[in-house]
Structure 1
């Protein structure tokens, strides 16, 4: 059975945006990168997700973060996490 849930870093974790953090989350959830999505606000997080083939949604808190994500090829961005929260609640 495939695990489910939300996996995040600890407040003191030095590993993000290292792909190792994402790999550990996948292992804990017993799933593959293509079956998950990473939500992040930095190009470094985008690159970590790309390195392991995980889809990425950029969270842009301001115009500067949006420009950085866009410049690095982030195709999907949100200004609010509400749509994701609603989608997670409906599953």
Structure 2
């Protein structure tokens, strides 16, 4: 599974994901257009509060199955678009 991480998360969390055999792609500080490109081919997207997961980001993530938010709330995730796409 390819996991795109767009914001800083605990190093231990990254290590656990990698130890589980996942391909972890850490790309911090992406612009919206860069995120659209980076999410292509990702199965999972891990964010915090600075990344806006809009309908077009979800649409670009054709293989996306989960968006994980490290923190509280989903106000920066278009939950309706994610639900429509089966994420």
Q: TM-score, normalised by structure 2?
A: 0.39
Larger-Rg structure: 1
Q: By percentage of residues, which structure has more helix?
A: 1
Q: TM-score, normalised by structure 1?
A: 0.38
